[in-house]
Structure 1
Amino acid sequence: MIVAESLSKSFGAKHAVSDVSFAVQPGKVTGFLGPNGAGKSTTMRMIVGLDRPTAGRVTVNGKRYTDLRSPLTEVGVLLDAKAVHTGRSARNHLRAMAATHGLPLSRVDEVIELTGLSSVARKRAGGFSLGMGQRLGIAAALLGDPHTLILDEPVNGLDPEGVLWVRRFVRHAASQGKTVLLSSHLMSEMALTADHIIVLGRGRVLADAPVDDLLRRWTRATVRVRSPRALELAELIAGADVSVTHVAEGVMDIEGVPADEIGDIAAARGIALHELTPASGTLEDAYLSLTGDDVEYKTKEIA
């Protein structure tokens, strides 16, 4: 378990993390989300002792990371896949790491095969593609078979097969009771992978909840309606809590009224429906609703 208690970090006048508290539970994949500059990377660095908190504390299984006697076998970390000597081969990089903890060379071969690096294991890491570099970083995180995994953007640069493998692997790890903290900007992938979500914005916790709870609270279900009498139907269902968006002629998206109620109203008035499709809000919708006022680096909207 990872526990942060009133965690803060300042760099001069810049407050990167402000009074952050959360717990990452074992047996779940916990997604760690937030806009650029939200404090995610700083928080992860504090978890593994690379940055010292200005205030508060963070522990892994009840201990500070710097107090762990065998960190590689307790916490697997991927923060920067480029943190490798470019002149070393993938195998030698992992062998050097294994030697620091007395791990057998057979474990090096296991993680090389596990992460799909067998064909490039003897090649210099400096010549690796972004995806192969990510695989090497993941292999390093798994080397000690740790109970806790902290992975920052692990699917960055991976091909579809690699993305699927990471998804299946972290879910399998969680099913074995391991603690998994996973950061990503890919909302679609996080929606398929995470059980629980922590969202940061401007260094503060904006949300800390199971995915389903987050969707219920921060999204509204939409119903796509297609009818030759769409305008008439829209007038019949109008209300203070109802939103109707006309997508095309005869097509509209309706929020605030369930599909069965729309169908009943249409049937009562003899209005033909060519489509009545309910759609739940997505994790991306919830994320954008949560972080809309906390984006530090705003882009210009395109008309």
Structure 2
Amino acid sequence: MIEAQNLTKTYGAKTAVNDITFTVRPGIVTGFLGPNGAGKSTTMRMIVGLDRPTHGSVTVNGRHYADHSSPLHEVGALLDAKAVHTGRSAENHLLALAATHSIPKRRVHEVIELTGLQSVARKRVGGFSLGMGQRLGIAAALLGDPQTLILDEPINGLDPEGVRWVRSLVRSLAAEGRTVLLSSHLMSEMAVTADHLIVLGKGRVIADAAVADVIGGAARASVRVRSPQASVLASTLASPDVTVTHVEHDLLTVTGLDAGAVGDLAARSGIALHELTPMNASLEEAYLQLTNDDVEYRTGSSARDLEVTR
């Protein structure tokens, strides 16, 4: 279990993490989300003792990370897959980590097999692809068979098979009763992997709830409507609380009414419908709505922003 109480981190005048309190519980996969600059990386670094909180505290399995006599047996972390001596082989890197905790050599071989590194185990890490580097980072996190896992962007650089493997891995670890904190920018993957979400925005917790509750609370469901009288239907449905978007000449997306209400209005107006399909809100839509006011770094809104002055 990971417990943060009033956790705060400042760098001079910059507040990276602002008085956040949360609990990551065992037995479920907790997704850790937020825009760039929201404070996720700083929070994870404080959990494993790489940064010292300015105020507040965070514990893993009831103790501060530095107070654990054998931290690799308590928490495994993948924060930076590139934090490896590039001249070492994958096997030697893991053996060196294992030696710090008297972890037997057979465990090194177990995590190499588990992460699919057998064919490259004796090759230098400097020649690894991004995906292989991620697998090595996951192997290191699993080395001590810890009860708590912290994985920052573990599927970055992985192929579809690797993504599916990570999804299965974290789900199985949670099913064993372990605590899993998973960070990713891929909302589609988080939607099918995580049970619970903690969302940061500008250093604060802006959501701490089950995935279904985050989607239901931050995004309104839409209805896909096809009609030969689409323009007339759009005028009929128009109101301050309803948004109607023309997708094609005969196809609308309606937000703010459910399928039954759209069908009833169309029937009363004598408008024929060729399609009426409820569209559930996605995690991506919910996330974007939830964090809209907390995005620190925005891209330009038009091609003009990309022009080069000569």
User: 1:267: Cα distance to partner?
Assistant: 3.5
> How many residue pairs are counted as aligned between the two chains?
303
Which residue pairs with 1:194 in the alignment?
Answer: 194
Determine the structure 1 residue equivalent to 2:97: 97
Query: Identity of counterpart residues, as a percentage?
Result: 70
Once residues 294 and 232 of structure 1 are traced to their aligned partners in structure 2, the CA distance between those partners, rounded to angstroms, is: 38
**Superimposed CA distance per residue, residues 148-171 of structure 1 (whole angstroms, 9 cap, x where no aligned partner):** 000000001111111100001101
Shift of 1:202: 1.1
The Cα RMSD (Å) is 1.1
Write the distance in 2 (CA, Å) between the matches of 1:297 and 1:236: 39
Under a length normalisation based on structure 2, what TM-score does the superposition of the two structures give? 0.95
The secondary structure found in structure 1 opposite 2:277 is: strand
Aligned twin of 1:129: 129
Amino acid at match of 1:139: A
Assess if the C-alpha contact under 8 Å between 2:194 and 2:211 holds in 1: yes
Between the aligned partners of 1:77 and 1:214, the Cα distance in structure 2 is 26
5 Å-filtered alignment, 1:137-148, equals: 137-148=137-148
Q: How far did 1:269 drift?
A: 4.1
Alignment match, 1:244: 244
Q: 2:237, 2:244 within 8 Å by CA — same for their partners in 1?
A: no
Give me the whole-angstrom Cα distance separating, in 1, the residues matched to 2:135 and 2:109.
Answer: 14
Deviation at 1:259, TM superposition (A): 0.8
Distance in 2, matches of 1:274 and 1:88, equals 63
Is the Cα–Cα contact under 8 Å of residues 77 and 141 in structure 2 kept in the other structure? yes
Could you report, residue by residue, the CA deviation over 1:218-272 in whole angstroms, capped at 9, with x for unpaired residues? 0010001110011222233333321111112111100111112222333344432
The 8 Å contact of residues 187 and 284 in structure 2, kept in 1 or not, is answered as: yes
Does residue 301 (structure 1) correspond to residue 301 (structure 2)? The answer is yes
Counterpart of 1:223 in structure 2 is 223
- For structure 2, list consecutive stretches of 5 or more residues without a partner in the other structure: 304-310
Residue 284 of structure 2 corresponds to residue 284 of structure 1: yes
Give yes or no for the alignment of 1:53 onto 2:59.
no
- CA drift at 1:15: 0.7
Q: Deviations over 1:45-91 (max 9, x none)?
A: 00000000000000011100000111111101000001111111001
Aligned positions of 1:112-191 closer than 5 A:
112-191=112-191
Deviates more, 1:96-105 or 1:41-50: 96-105
Query: Unaligned regions of 5+ residues in structure 1, if any?
Result: none
Residue identity opposite 2:229 in structure 1: R
In 1, Cα distance between the equivalents of 2:197 and 2:302? 29
Q: TM-score, normalised by structure 1?
A: 0.97
Q: Which residue of 1 aligns with 2:308?
A: none
How far is the alpha carbon of 1:210 from its aligned partner?
0.6
**Structure 1 Cα separation of the partners of residues 284 and 187 of structure 2:** 5
Cα distance in 2, alignment partners of residues 6 and 268 from structure 1: 55
Counterpart amino acid of residue 257 in structure 1: L
Report which stretch shifted further, 181-190 or 260-269. 260-269
**Is the 2:26–2:174 Cα contact (8 Å) retained in structure 1?**
yes
